[in-house]
Amino acid sequence: MTDRGLMQRLNDGEKVIVAEGYIFNFERRCYIRAGPYVPTVVLEHPNLVKQLHEEFVRAGSDVVQAFTYYGNRAKLKLIDRLADLESMNRTALRMAKDCANNTGTLMAGDICNTNTYDTSDPNNKENMEAIFKEQVEWAVEEGADFIVGETFGILDEALIALDVIKTYGKGAPAVITMSTHNIFKNGVLSTVDGVELTEAMKRLESAGADVVGLNCTRGPETMIPLMEKIKKSGVKAHLAALPITYRTTEEEPTFHKLTDPKTGKIVFPLNLDCALNSREDIFEFGRRCDELGINYLGLCCGNSPHYTRTLAESVGRKPPGSKFSPDLSFHCFYGIDDIVNKYLPTANVLG
Ligand SMILES: [Zn+2]
């Protein structure tokens, strides 16, 4: 058990590292289907989810985020698994809590965009609230230390989620992160519902979010400038930044826009592999967060334990996984085991 909660850590100026990215990780390992992206692996192979929680903590994550992303009523209905809704959520939450208890980390409940937000439906708000409420209540009952509401493109949906956390979360802190698409209103980057980004962050802060920021959709290179802007805008809440681990650029700022340098084709969502960040990219991201005073930092889609370890090390941490951090002094091309100089002095193998 941990006696220091999220807000105490952040208020003391501590960094909180958060490994996300479970959906893409299990899709790559062939345990969930791309397309619906529903965390069915929670019920079908729970031990693998437990294992990934442990791996992320070992790599430096301070938080075990329950794998309930897209485990909501709307998504389960889509794949005709509505009967599994509660057991999927509770199983995910219990595994996360067990891991957090065993490792002295924090357990986060997780809700996200529903993809069913529809202002033409007179029951829109009630529908959203019903989806979020049951997940928040289960998270609290299973001992979540705080609740994450993430990847909202629509500010209004994020505000509804926040309100549900505040109403039914029994005082659990709320971390709200938005995903920024490439949407401009009057020339300024805006949420899907047309609110300028820093204004959106301020509205979330005013509505009681304890941590606000961005996650998913953008890689480090195109998320950091936005975080800089948010920081300068005077938002007082703690800031969160959890990019995808792909090389988005000014020309291709979100993973939806990324193209394969070889074919010129859009790579989202199945061929993102060709645009993965390097470990150095992730290290640089951590360093920039440190400079900007962003203390809730992590990685979203594309994340893997080695990236999480790199992020932890970039801010001076030495998690248990650092036991196996690289030591190239033993490498056969670079180190004491030097076959290049011994056998291949003229081969120019290293370019
Ligand atoms: Zn993501």
The DSSP bridge partners found for residue 241 are: 214, 297
pLDDT per residue as tens digits for the range 118-166 = 999 999 999 999 999 999 999 999 999 999 999 999 999 999 999 999 9
One-letter amino acid of 310: T
pLDDT of 1 > 60? The answer is no
Does the predicted model carry a pTM greater than 0.85?
yes
- The residues near 154 (Cβ < 8 Å, ≥ 6 apart) are 113, 117, 191, 192, 193
What is the H or E stretch that residue 51 is in?
helix 46-58
Our measurement of the distance from residue 135's CA atom to the centroid of its chain's CA atoms, rounded to an integer in Å, reads: 18
Ligand 1 mean position to 283 CA, how many Å? 19
Measured CA to CA, the distance from residue 170 to residue 266 in angstroms comes to: 43
Contact 190, 184 (CB under 8 A): yes
- Show the tokens assigned to 155: 């500010």
Neighbours of ion ligand 1 (CB under 5 A): 216, 300-301
pLDDT confidence of residue 2: 62
- Compute CA distances 258 → 27, 74, 204, whole Å: 19, 28, 29
Confidence of residue 351 (pLDDT cuts 50, 70, 90): confident
Ligand 1 center from residue 69 Cα (angstroms): 10
Q: What percent of the chain has pLDDT over 70?
A: 99
Q: What average pLDDT does range 92-97 have in this prediction?
A: 98
In angstroms, what is the span from residue 337 Cα to ligand 1's centroid? 40
Q: Is 216 annotated as a binding residue?
A: yes
Tell me, in angstroms, the distance from the centre of ligand 1 to residue 215's CA: 7
Backbone angles phi, psi at 83, to 5 degrees: -60, -20
Residues ≥6 apart with Cβ < 8 Å to 71: 38, 39, 42, 85, 88, 89, 92, 135
The mean pLDDT of 190-205, rounded to a whole number, is 97
pLDDT value at position 116? 95
Q: Does 332 count as an annotated binding residue?
A: no
Is 300 marked within a binding site? yes
Rounded distance from Cα 165 to ligand 1 centre (Å): 21
Report the separation in Å between the CA atom of 18 and the middle of ligand 1, taken as the mean of its atom positions.
Answer: 12
Write out the H or E segment, with its range, that includes residue 185.
strand 184-185
How many angstroms separate the alpha carbon of residue 219 from the centre of ligand 1? Answer: 10
